[in-house]
Amino acid sequence: MTSARLLDLGARFAQALASEGGRDAVLRELDRGAGLRLLDARQHPVAQSGSPDSAVPIDLPESEEATTLGDGSLALPLSIGGERLGWLVAFGPDGRRAEGEALQLAATLLALDLSRDRRIGERRDLWDAALAGSLAGAAAAKALAAEHRVGVASTYLVVALTFDEADETCELAELGALASEALGQHEIVVRERDGAALLLCPATEEPTIGKMRVAATLLPKSIARRHAAYRVVGGIGRARPLHELDSAAREALVALEIARRLRRHDAVLAYEKLGALPLLLEAAVAPEWRGFARDFLESIRDYDAKHQTELERTMTIYFESGENVKVAAERLHVHRHTVFYRLRQIAELTGLSLENPFDQLNLRLAVTIDALDA
């Protein structure tokens, strides 16, 4: 076969591989009537042309050379660097009528394509291993990254996002893509965990980490500008190295869950700013803490139910407003004297003073634990 003919075939095969037909289109270019089949390293079919009557042998030869099978078919091993990636099988004597050099050229291109898939799979495995906590330490993380030829940063900031308001048109994959675009980093890796999109953002220095954290808190507005139907909440973990990515992801998911339970709409909360709230989130499921919250809130709720008042809501908004009566009154759409009156009612019902730091601490804890237990 002339060099010009080989160049022409190479261009046709490359165009077929890049087309919608992909590997099947390459095999159709080679098909001479008996059909061809592309197998991966486990002998699973990944592409085919025609409907071969012949069955692929269970054990294909391990030879590195093209081998004629018992029915006259031709099996070409696909390998790169000594690693077996699969086989290209041209079925029956008719299959061998395809020019040998053309088959070999197609086999080389298909081997490169299978190798690319292998590298992509390994890259996914690296991040999945990190998120699963499977990396024993910094040395193991570095070795695995080098083995997979993946460049990694010294530290990562993990951002967890999910929908505050969602319908059937909302997709986590699109949310992750929108968030990555808004943050303006091409190196961000996106994974889905526990109903959230996790953004693994490389951040190597403190100024970069700080800017990334600020940008992440603004994501609800940034995403809404790109997709008006998306209302999101989220959490940010502390900056950690690759081998501690699982801890950073857990922190981000905890911060997200706190934002949801405390109804911080359109907010992305940073774990390191939450103080004792992560501990209270864990405690909220314990019967002792539930009983503690119920004991402090029961009399207020009974009064609200009996008299159709809003004492509990008033107390909650009063705390959220930084004990600012004027702001609380505006949020409740009542006169500030009404807020003062309701606070006095709460004190009488509970026997606690909102001016006493210890009593106020207990009431604040009861309100927070109840909200986190929602």
CATH number, domain containing residue 365: 1.10.10.2840
- Work out whether the CA dihedral 266, 272, 276, 278 comes out positive or negative: positive
Beta-carbon contacts of residue 286 (< 8 Å; ≥ 6 apart): none
61, part of any domain: yes
User: What 8-state DSSP symbol labels residue 98?
Assistant: S
End position of a domain, from candidates 221, 252, 274:
274
pLDDT, tens digit (0-9, with 9 covering 90-100), for 124-155: 578 888 888 888 888 888 887 877 677 888 89
C-alpha closest to that of 15 among 4, 24, 26, 7 = 26
128, part of any domain: no
188 and 262 fall within a common domain:
yes
291 and 249 fall within a common domain:
no
Phi, psi of 273 (to 5 degrees): -100, 0
159 and 87 fall within a common domain:
no
pLDDT at 184: 83
303 and 353 fall within a common domain:
yes
Cα 151–chain centre separation = 19
145 and 270 fall within a common domain:
yes
Number of domains present in the structure of the chain: 3
131, part of any domain: no
133, part of any domain: no
158 and 263 fall within a common domain:
yes
173 and 79 fall within a common domain:
no
209 and 325 fall within a common domain:
no
Confidence of residue 53 (pLDDT cuts 50, 70, 90): low
Is the predicted pLDDT of residue 9 greater than 80, yes or no? no
295, part of any domain: yes
Confidence of residue 159 (pLDDT cuts 50, 70, 90): very high
Domain extent for 344:
282-372
**What is the secondary structure of 242-281 as a DSSP string?**
GGGHHHHHHHHHHHHHHHHHTT-TT-EEEGGG-TTHHHHH
Is the predicted pLDDT of residue 116 greater than 90, yes or no? no
Is the predicted pLDDT of residue 235 greater than 60, yes or no? yes
Amino acid at the residue 267:
A
Beta-carbon contacts of residue 184 (< 8 Å; ≥ 6 apart): 215
300 versus 44: the higher-pLDDT residue is: 300
End position of a domain, from candidates 116, 146, 169:
116
SS3 181: helix
123, part of any domain: no
132, part of any domain: no
pLDDT, tens digit (0-9, with 9 covering 90-100), for 259-277: 999 888 889 999 999 999 9
**What is the secondary structure of 314-361 as a DSSP string?**
HHHHHHHTTT-HHHHHHHHTS-HHHHHHHHHHHHHHHS--TTSHHHHH
pLDDT at 65: 76
127, part of any domain: no
Range with lowest mean pLDDT among 11-25, 230-244, 315-329, 346-360:
11-25
324 and 231 fall within a common domain:
no
Which helix (H) or strand (E) segment holds residue 106: the answer is helix 100-131
pLDDT at 233: 93
CATH classification at residue 148: 3.30.70.270
61 versus 289: the higher-pLDDT residue is: 289
269 and 301 fall within a common domain:
no
Average pLDDT over residues 88-111: 72
168 and 251 fall within a common domain:
yes
Structure tokens at 145: 């990254």
149 and 262 fall within a common domain:
yes
pLDDT at 120: 54
SS3 297: helix
End position of a domain, from candidates 207, 239, 274:
274
